[in-house]
Chains A and B, each alone.
Chain A
């Protein structure tokens, strides 16, 4: 088989590396979404803890 010239092989190589990066970015984005949900729930929990302890209690700790 003859070597593919650079202008023909280039798009294939670029596509392969772009797919790799896109896949990892997609995964990280999904995980970031999950982490922000955890953060939101943590905020709700902090509010709940504040309500349980009463207003003014433990403000400095937060």
Chain B
């Protein structure tokens, strides 16, 4: 189901990322201020944008789950948040490398963009322990959805507040105040955003395919009676695969 067109999507993602990297290195001009170091921007900023959009997407999927009570939406939301967390780790590490090169420090605590992103990451870092703490699958899914919605609403609010703050140390990417990117840089930047978004979608489908295959396998085991004598499913932060409704 989710594996459909996965190969094509993976190949497109690979091609887009390769093209982006080639353009970053050989076509986009060096920044007049930061020089070659500015090339980190083409991976750091798209990763941050896609991470935040992924968290919001997780919230939207959670709304669908609460609306329809369909456990598949809970699984989709869980996978979206999981991949966004992985991307978020990438944002923090690439951002730290950038900060060390540009500012001479791995982390700057009085910079609102950095600290607010860390806050969002710490907030979402509690998502999996929250799920793990609740044993009943139905309750777990419901509570996780409420969390995903509330946290998903917090993401754009936090983003807007940080942009309205006056202490501008972190460079603005899409702003009329500090000037937009020049032509070639803009093309490469938008291509990088599309490539990273494609990567997110590919990994999301990849993980959903795996989860769906697991669910199908469990359903098949039950059908064949192979699971009857087994111990009850162990506690997990991931949505229960048996709870997905079997083979669909």
Contacts and interface: CB of A to CB of B under 8 A. Distances in A.
B97 interface: yes
Contacts of B100: 12
Interface stretch (B85-93, B127-135, B139-147, B182-190): B85-93
Given A12-B40, A19-B90, A23-B89, A3 B34 contact: yes
B28 to A, nearest CB: 12
Contact of A16 (B32, B35, B98, B214): B98
Contacts of B221: 41, 45
Given A3-B35, A13-B37, A17-B43, A45 B224 contact: yes
B97 A38 contact: no
Interface centre among A10, A20, A35 (most CB of B within 10 A): A20
B161 interface: no
Interface residues of A, number: 29
Contacts of B207: 31
A38 B34 contact: no
Interface of A is mostly: helix
Contacts of B94: 16, 19-20
Interface residues of B, number: 36
Contacts of A41: 217, 221
A6 interface: yes
Nearest to B89: A23
Contacts of A28: 203, 206
B226 interface: yes
Contacts of A9: 34-37, 101
Interface string B51-74: 000000000000000000000000
Interface in A26-62: 27-28, 31, 34-35, 38, 41-42, 45, 48-49, 52
Given A24-B199, A45-B220, A45-B221, A16 B44 contact: yes
Interface of B: 21, 30, 32-37, 39-40, 43-44, 47, 83, 86, 89-90, 93-94, 97-98, 100-102, 199, 203, 206-207, 210, 213-214, 217, 220-221, 224, 226
8 contacts: A9-B35, A12-B37, A12-B40, A13-B36, A23-B90, A27-B83, A27-B86, A31-B206
